[in-house]
Amino acid sequence: MSIQSVAIVRKSSTTTPPPQARGAVEPVGKLIDVTKCIGCKACTAACFEWNDLREEIGNGVGNYDESVVDLSDQMWSVMRFAEIDTPDGRVEWLMRKDSCLHCADPGCIKACPSPGAIVQYANGIVDFNQANCIGCGYCVAGCPFNIPRISKKDNKAYKCTMCSDRLQVGLEPVCVKTCPSGAITFGTKKEMVAKAEKRVHALQERGFQNAALYDPKGVGGTHVMYVLGHGDQPELYNGLPKDPSISPWVGLWRGVTKPLLSIGLGLGVLTMFFHYVTRGPQDEDAADHADHAHEGEAK
């Protein structure tokens, strides 16, 4: 799982094919088992440490809710809490580590207009390259999960890198390394799916009939997956979308219209050009003469 993460298979705003001579790379997977999560936020702290980030301490907004409640350029991973009333009258406390899911079919790459500002590695990681980012924010609108954030400091987009730099040297993502309850694990995507299926089965046996793996097909599956106790209602976990996909409006805006309208513009210009070389101009003096002649006739 090491050096693979430098092989790029998809690059934003690029029409030519990526390098493909190297052999197939095993896609990676990070599995977040929310049923094992204790909400300690060690993963958030580790993310700060490894990536040299520091979010400003804000104000508390509730009982157990945090002083930092959303993702930002400094906050690539945030713990989201939710209290829900269960049908049998109990209260359930849900917590979910929210960060980039590394879609197989990423809306951010589709939306990005800057060549190479967003890349997808052969191992599935979707990475932002701030050196190429122009700060337009299209990735924010393209993402079905509301993940990227534009920095107020430098007007560049930031999000979880899945510790692509650690992966390159054979280390696991830092949140995985830190998690004290074993809720976050890392391996190949295949291994993680198998692991999740086992866990889902165990949960179902223990009374969570609706437990499920969250690996949404609408975005081609994701390289960060959840095991959810309430797999039938992912939106309970602070609005995790039930059936996410790239919005058709993003498709219109940054998809099919790009080649079609570009061809339209080109044909428009060519039409003008060929009109000129076939019909030619209406000469200024010719108009003069023609009209004087015409005027004479009319009289």
Does position 289 bind another protein by CB under 8 A? yes
- Other beta carbons within 10 angstroms of residue 55's beta carbon come to 17
Residue among 4, 5, 13, 185 that touches another protein (CB under 8 A): 13
Cβ–Cβ < 8 Å for 247, 145: no
Name the 3-class secondary structure at 267.
helix
Residues in the chain, overall count: 299
Residue among 134, 181, 197, 205 that touches another protein (CB under 8 A): 134
Does position 58 bind another protein by CB under 8 A? no
Tokens of 291: 């009209």
The smaller minimum CB distance to another protein, of residues 39 and 142, is found at: 142
Pairing of strands 224-228, 28-33: parallel
Residue among 25, 82, 141, 193 that touches another protein (CB under 8 A): 141
Does position 282 bind another protein by CB under 8 A? yes
Choose the stretch contacting another protein; rule: CB under 8 A; options: 61-69, 79-87, 145-153, 211-219.
145-153
Name the 3-class secondary structure at 42.
helix
Does position 199 bind another protein by CB under 8 A? no
The smaller minimum CB distance to another protein, of residues 86 and 278, is found at: 278
Give per-residue burial for 218-230: e unless 16+ CB within 10 Å, then b.
ebebbbbbbbbbb
How big is the site for another protein, counted in residues (CB under 8 A)? 50
Measured between alpha carbons, how far is 111 from 138 in angstroms, rounded to an integer?
6
Tokens of 159: 């999000």
Query: What residue type is assigned to position 106 of the chain?
Result: P
The smaller minimum CB distance to another protein, of residues 5 and 13, is found at: 13
- From residue 252 to residue 271, what is the string marking binding to another protein with x (rule CB under 8 A)? xxx--xxx-xx-xx--xx--
Non-local (6+) Cβ contacts of 272 within 8 A are none
Binding residues for another protein (CB under 8 A): 13-15, 113-115, 132, 134-138, 140-141, 146, 149-150, 247, 249-250, 252-254, 257-259, 261-262, 264-265, 268-269, 272, 275-276, 279-285, 287-292, 294-295
